[in-house]
Amino acid sequence: MKLVMQSLGVAVCVLSLSAILLAADRQGTPIIARMGTATLKEANHEWLKRYAAALERDTRGRIKVEVYPASQLGSISRMIEQTQFGAIQGWVGPPEFLSGVDMRYEILSAPGLFKDVAHANRVLRDPQFNAAFLALGANKGLKGIGLFVDGPASFVSRKPVRKIAGFNGLKIRVLSSPLQREQVRALGATPVPMALGQVLTALQQGALDAVMAEAPVFVAFRYYSVGKYLIESEHSMVLAVAVINRNWFEGLPPDLQNIVAEDGRKVSEEIFPWAVKDVNDGLETWTKNGGEVIRFDSEEQKRLVELLRPLGAQVTAQRPDEKLLFDLLQKAAERNQ
C-alpha cells in the first residue's frame, strides 16, 4: 500500500510539473533550466556553455539554460541531489561521483581500457554502450543526455614521481568510487576521497601529497602554485556525463524533449576536438608557470598499465549488474579499436 501511495505521489508531481511547464511554454515564457558543474574553463564548463547556446537556438528561446560553473550551486554531491529532486535541472561532471546513485557509473574509471583519447571517444559514441550508460539513474530521478571525453588521467604531486615506486606511501586524492580507490592502492599509495573545493588547500598544507585528475582541471585551479610536478600517467581516461532531472524532462512538450536529448548528443560529439586541444594547451600553460610535466619511459608505462588493467574486471565482478555493463563496455572497446 505504501509503495502504491509513493508511486501515486510521484505521478501527481510529474503531472503538476508538466502542467507548469506547458503553461509557461504556451504563454511564451522561457522555461528555465539551471545547470551546474564543479569546474571552470575546461570541458565540463565548455559543454554546458555550448549546450545552453544550442538549446536556446534550437528551441527558438523556449528553453533557456543558466550555467553555473565552479560549484556556484554547491558541492558536487549537493548538485547531484538537487538534480535528482528537481531543485536544479542538471549537472555535468565525472560519472564516478554518481556511484552513490548507482555503482555502475564507476566503470568508466577502469584503467588500461582505452588506447588513447580517440579510442575513448569512439567507445563513448558506440550506440549500444552509450544508450545503456545514459539510461543509468532513471529510477533515481536522473536522465543522461551526454557522455564525452575530458582528457587522460594524470597526477599532480608535491614531489617528483618518475617511477611507479615513487607513488609508494603517498596520500592521493581520488573520486569516491572503488575503482579509483583500488588504482591508488595498487600503486602502494593511500586513496583520499575529497571534494574538489578542498583539494588545493589540502595540497598546500600537506594533508595530501598528490591528486589524480586531468591537466585542464589542474591548470584551471592553478595547482602549479602548490604542486610543481604533473605526471602524465595516461593509465585511464577522465570522462564526463551530463544528467538532468527526469521529471523535468518528462514534463516538457514532446518536441522540446526531442531537442533536449538530441542537442545533448550533438554537443557531446562536437566537443571532442576542443577537449583534446584544451589538454594540450593545459600542459603548455603548466610549464609556462614553472611546473614540470613528467612522462614515464615506455617500459615503466607498460608496467603501470599491466599493473592496473586487471582492476576493472576484479572490482566489477563483485556486483553482477556492474559486471554486465562492464562486459558491454569491454565489447564496445574491442569493436571500436
Provide the pLDDT confidence category of residue 138 given band limits of 50, 70 and 90: very high
Whole-number Å distance between alpha carbons of 141 and 243: 10
Q: Which three cell numbers stand for residue 311?
A: 582492476
- 76 CB-side CA count, 13 A: 23
CB contact at 8 A, 91 and 35 = yes
Amino acid at 102: D
pLDDT band for 197, please (50, 70, 90 cuts). Answer: confident
Residue type for position 107: I
CA distance 5 to 228: 57
Higher-confidence position of 13 and 106: 106
- Tell me the helices (H) and strands (E) count for the chain, helix number first: 14, 11
pTM of the model: 0.91
Task: Round to whole Å and give the CA distance between 82 and 96.
Answer: 17
- pLDDT digits 0-9 by tens, 256-271: 999 999 999 999 999 9
The structural architecture, per CATH, of the domain 154-236+278-335 is 3-Layer(aba) Sandwich (3.40)
Measured distance CA(323)–CA(276) in Å, rounded: 30
Task: Look up residue 332 and give its three cell numbers.
Answer: 564496445
Question: CATH for 2-149+238-271?
Answer: 3.40.190.170
Where does the pLDDT of residue 315 fall: very low under 50, low under 70, confident under 90, or very high at 90 and above? very high
CA dihedral 323, 324, 325, 330 (to 10 degrees): 80
Q: How far apart are CA 134 and CA 114, in angstroms?
A: 19
**pLDDT at residue 18, rounded to an integer:** 67
Kindly compute the dihedral angle of the four CA atoms of residues 194, 146, 331, 150, in this order, to the nearest 10 degrees. -50
Q: Is the pLDDT of residue 4 over 50?
A: no
Phi, psi of 252 (to 5 degrees): -75, 155
pLDDT band per the 50, 70, 90 thresholds, residue 23: low
Map out the domains of the chain as residue ranges. 2-149+238-271, 154-236+278-335
pLDDT reading at 228 higher than 50: yes
Instruction: List for the chain the helix, strand, coil content (%; round to 5).
Output: 55, 15, 30
- Which own/partner contact pairs does 12-21 have at CB distance under 8 Å and 24+ positions apart? 13/247, 14/247, 14/250, 14/251, 17/86, 17/247, 17/248, 17/251, 18/250, 18/251, 18/252, 20/251, 21/248, 21/251, 21/252, 21/253
What CA–CA distances, in Å, run from 170 to 41, 206, 211, 268, 327? 29, 11, 10, 35, 32
Pick from 46, 67, 38: which is nearest to 268 by CA? 46
Give the percent of the chain with pLDDT over 90.
89
Over residues 188-217, the mean pLDDT reads 94
Q: Is 319 exposed, middle or buried (0-12, 13-18, 19+ CB in 10 A)?
A: middle
